[in-house]
């Protein structure tokens, strides 16, 4: 096994840190959580010269080491804890050439920790356009570091960065300035009290209300040290920040020149349009409509191909494999179950593609700013838009994204309403039901089906907003907050970044859903193929007696037998038991089973029906065709008609139906109260709305 070093990528938000991470690691990356937290950890591997490998950790974006959120705490804790297996051998600070002054604050703080610290100045391709020139040798000398001037867009400077990382032991570790000069007497007494500890690490632990692993107050016995009051510590922090900026200004004064005549007004003109109090909302609405239309139009061909391929695969397996329980399990359980989720890969990939493009271009920050005007009236912050929009991918990272909301009341309300947002797990349910019950046709160039999908997204978002307003009135928690957001420059999205995002997120969705669906498909098949009593065991005899005078073909009789066995199987008995509860909504026992199973994950609904409808079927009919043929035994009309379809769509629009979301809400709120409130309220609301709609439409 070759040598390996730890490399931490650190930087302010919007400096292109993810682009650098992607350039170094490509697809050799994975996303997990830091131990004991719900903060995302991205890590990958980069090959360096002479067989050396770099284990690259992309740390959450932070403006400084004065941690004020869970994300920032993770950064500080790792940098202070030398016993952590991910403690960096070298820290790589990513900065943006247009915001160097602000970005260097974090760089000077990390230099004080005496870790080999490399400075990466990103977006070098913007220098000529913005009239910026840099004296790199002088900056390296003044900042005591090695500098890599790179452009991930033009793919320049990456090899130089790899060389610097490889030779990290040559990077100076001396600090940029002496922090102790902000209060010499205090720092001298601190040095005397803890002679064996690094002074700046001590200062970080003392000045912040946090517990940083092995550097905890208890270990250091800091509580015994006569420290300053919180207000005095805050004043010293401010004094430290001022001193750092004085140093940064003096360095940039000689190391950077900016031709102000090159400044362009394009960004200002675009902002005036995209954040306009009227046109801003119109443009955002048009963008959403375009996305949903594209999801339908572009994905049709690959979806039809996948649907037909899995139906053919099931049929082929039955022909080539010896008949028996194992073949039936594979052909009627596992393959249809997986086909029921893989069919939606094209549409989910397109959804992630559009979200990634909006984020990469810088437009998403404008949406957050725009929506703050609306959110404030409903007890939310503009920052709540980020979790609500993230919720279109998955509610779990969306709930985690609320950590950026400083105010607890706004954060709690956002956590509670995020599951109303239509996530990609609901998408398979929506798409299959819309295809069945919404007629094809167009209105001003937009298909009825795309408009229906758009309406469901708006219903979800509207429900979140209304619920937030009610919670704001009910929750007696004091609120005092300020909305601050950085507007990044507009950029043409990097194709590489977009592609990696689409591949990784789609892969995570398929793998995550696939494992659940595979397990549930096997369980469902066993339950659907097993039964007790005469009705199941003597199904063939009973059905043939029943249809003796009906002059049916052998194929029709076999279908009747399969249907009879399914109805009297273990799963059929369970479904029949809950049927009285769901019948007023227009559902039968098969849909009831699918709804219960989908509590593991919403997308399981389609896979469950695919498995149930495939049991005992020998034809190549696709899941959509089988669902279309289903007849409601009570009314005699197609089971999936307009009334029952709309009822089902609205049920899933409002219902929680996700164990993982409940678990993450419990973890983020540190209480079972809030997830239980969510589950009971959303399920009751979904049932009542679905009931009213079905009874009205039927």
Measured from the Cβ of residue 536, the count of other Cβ atoms closer than 10 Å reads 20
pLDDT of residue 393: 65
Encode pLDDT of 171-188 as tens digits.
999 998 888 888 888 888
3-state per-residue secondary structure call for 163-211: HHHHCHHHCCCCCCCCHHHHCHHHHHHHHHHCCCCCHHHHHHHHHCCCC
Encode pLDDT of 373-427 as tens digits.
777 788 777 677 767 876 776 677 677 667 667 677 888 888 999 889 887 778 7
Strand, helix or coil for residue 548: coil
Measured CA to CA, the distance from residue 654 to residue 310 in angstroms comes to 31
Query: Of 293-307, 442-456, 502-516, where does mean pLDDT reach its minimum?
Result: 502-516
Residue 421, token pair as written in the block:
């947002």
- φ/ψ of residue 29, rounded to 5: -140, 160
Which residue, chain included where needed, has tokens 């959804």?
351
Contact in structure between 229 and 94 (CB atoms under 8 Å): no
Helices (H), 12-134: 17-25, 70-80, 100-111, 127-130
Task: State the sign of the Cα–Cα–Cα–Cα dihedral 21, 23, 24, 27.
Answer: positive
Task: Identify which of 340-344, 423-427, 510-514 has the greatest average pLDDT.
Answer: 423-427
Higher per-residue confidence, 308 vs 21: 21
Strand, helix or coil for residue 121: strand
Measured from the Cβ of residue 35, the count of other Cβ atoms closer than 10 Å reads 9
- φ/ψ of residue 172, rounded to 5: -60, 145
Q: Where, residue-wise, is CATH 3.40.50.300 in the chain?
A: 1-259
Sequence-distant (≥ 6) Cβ neighbours of residue 171 within 8 angstroms: 90, 116, 117, 118, 145, 146, 164
| Residue 34: closest CA among 88, 79, 71, 82 | 71
Higher per-residue confidence, 268 vs 227: 268
Contact in structure between 551 and 592 (CB atoms under 8 Å): no
Check whether 32 has a pLDDT greater than 60: no
The secondary element (H helix, E strand) that includes residue 309 is helix 279-320
- List the Cα angle 442/443/447 in 5-degree steps: 40
Sequence-distant (≥ 6) Cβ neighbours of residue 243 within 8 angstroms: 177, 179, 181, 182
Q: Which residues pair with 56 in a beta bridge?
A: 7, 44
Which residue, chain included where needed, has tokens 């950890």?
41
Residue 384, token pair as written in the block:
């709540």
Q: Which residues pair with 156 in a beta bridge?
A: 151
Residue 176, token pair as written in the block:
């940029």
DSSP 386: H
| Residue 336: closest CA among 573, 640, 624 | 624
Check whether 595 has a pLDDT greater than 60: yes
Across all residues in the chain, what is the average pLDDT?
80
- φ/ψ of residue 543, rounded to 5: -70, -45
Task: State the sign of the Cα–Cα–Cα–Cα dihedral 6, 7, 12, 16.
Answer: negative
pLDDT of residue 682: 92
Q: Choose the CATH number for 1-259 among 3.40.50.300, 3.40.50.720, 3.30.2010.10, 3.20.20.80.
A: 3.40.50.300
What is the chain's length?
Answer: 698
Residue 496, token pair as written in the block:
């590489």
Confidence of residue 597 (pLDDT cuts 50, 70, 90): confident
- List the Cα angle 132/152/261 in 5-degree steps: 20
3-state per-residue secondary structure call for 7-36: EEEEECCCCCHHHHHHHHHCCCEEEEECCC
Phi-psi region at 645: left, alpha or beta (left = phi > 0; alpha = psi -120 to 50) = alpha
Mean pLDDT, residues 85-113 taken together: 91
């Amino acid at each position: 096994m070759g040598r390996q070093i730890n490399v931490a990528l650190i930087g302010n938000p919007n400096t292109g840190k993810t682009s650098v991470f992607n350039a170094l690691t490509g697809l050799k990356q994975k996303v997990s959580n830091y131990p004991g937290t719900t903060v995302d950890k991205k890590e990958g591997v980069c090959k360096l010269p002479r067989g050396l490998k770099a284990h690259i950790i992309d740390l959450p974006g932070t403006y400084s080491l004065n941690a004020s959120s869970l994300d920032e705490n993770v950064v500080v804790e790792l940098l202070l804890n030398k016993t952590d297996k991910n403690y960096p051998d070298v820290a790589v600070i990513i900065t943006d050439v247009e915001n160097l002054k602000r970005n260097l604050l974090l760089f000077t703080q990390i230099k004080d920790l005496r870790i080999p610290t490399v400075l990466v100045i990103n977006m070098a391709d913007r220098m000529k356009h913005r009239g910026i020139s840099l004296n790199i040798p002088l900056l390296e000398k003044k900042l005591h570091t090695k500098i890599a001037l790179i452009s991930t867009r033009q793919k320049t400077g990456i090899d130089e960065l790899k060389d610097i990382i490889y030779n990290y032991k040559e990077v100076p570790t001396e600090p940029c300035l002496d922090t102790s000069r902000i209060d010499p007497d205090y720092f001298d007494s601190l040095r005397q009290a803890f002679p064996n500890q690094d002074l700046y690490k001590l200062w970080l632990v003392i000045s912040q209300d946090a517990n940083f692993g092995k550097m905890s107050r208890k270990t250091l016995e800091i509580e015994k040290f006569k420290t300053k009051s919180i207000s005095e510590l805050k004043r010293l922090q401010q004094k430290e920040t001022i001193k750092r900026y004085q140093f940064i200004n003096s360095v940039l004064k000689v190391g950077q020149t900016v031709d102000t005549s090159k400044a362009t007004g394009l960004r200002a003109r675009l902002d005036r349009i995209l954040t306009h109090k009227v046109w801003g909302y119109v443009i955002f609405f048009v963008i959403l409509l375009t996305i949903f239309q594209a999801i339908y139009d572009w994905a049709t061909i690959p979806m039809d191909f996948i649907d037909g391929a899995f139906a053919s695969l099931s049929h082929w397996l039955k022909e080539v494999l010896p008949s028996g329980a194992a073949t039936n399990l594979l052909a009627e359980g596992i393959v249809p179950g997986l086909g029921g989720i893989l069919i939606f890969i094209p549409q989910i990939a397109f959804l992630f593609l559009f979200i990634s493009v909006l984020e990469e271009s810088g437009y998403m920050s404008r949406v957050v700013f725009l929506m703050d005007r609306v959110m404030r009236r409903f007890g939310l912050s503009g920052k709540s838009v980020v979790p609500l929009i993230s919720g279109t991918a998955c509610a779990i990272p969306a709930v985690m994204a609320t950590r950026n909301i400083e105010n607890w009341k706004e954060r709690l309300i956002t956590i509670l309403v995020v599951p109303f947002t239509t996530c990609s797990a609901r998408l398979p349910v929506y798409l299959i039901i819309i295809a069945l019950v919404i007629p094809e046709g167009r209105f001003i160039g937009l298909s009825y089906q795309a408009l229906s999908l758009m309406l469901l997204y708006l219903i979800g978002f509207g429900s979140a907003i209304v619920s937030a307003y009610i919670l704001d009135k009910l929750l007696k928690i004091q609120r005092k907050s300020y909305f601050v957001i950085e507007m990044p420059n507009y950029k043409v999205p990097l194709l590489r970044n977009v592609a990696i995002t689409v591949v990784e997120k789609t892969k995570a969705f398929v793998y995550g859903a696939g494992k659940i669906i595979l397990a549930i498909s096997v369980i469902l098949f066993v339950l659907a193929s097993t039964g007790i009593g005469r009705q199941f065991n003597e199904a063939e005899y009973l059905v043939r007696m029943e249809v003796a005078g009906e002059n049916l073909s052998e194929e029709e009789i076999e279908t009747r037998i399969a249907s009879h066995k399914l109805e009297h199987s273990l799963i059929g008995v369970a479904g029949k038991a809950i049927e009285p509860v769901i019948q007023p909504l227009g559902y039968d026992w098969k849909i009831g089973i699918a709804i219960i199973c989908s509590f593991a994950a919403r997308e399981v609904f389609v896979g469950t029906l695919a498995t149930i409808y495939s049991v005992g079927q020998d034809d190549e009919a696709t899941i959509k065709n089988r669902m279309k043929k289903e007849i409601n035994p009570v009314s005699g009309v197609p089971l999936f008609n307009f009334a029952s379809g709309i009822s089902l769509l609205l049920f899933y629009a409002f219902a929680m139906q996700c164990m993982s979301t409940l678990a993450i809400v419990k973890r983020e709120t540190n209480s079972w109260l809030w997830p239980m409130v969510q589950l009971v309220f959303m399920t009751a609301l979904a049932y009542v709305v679905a009931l009213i709609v079905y009874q009205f439409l039927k």
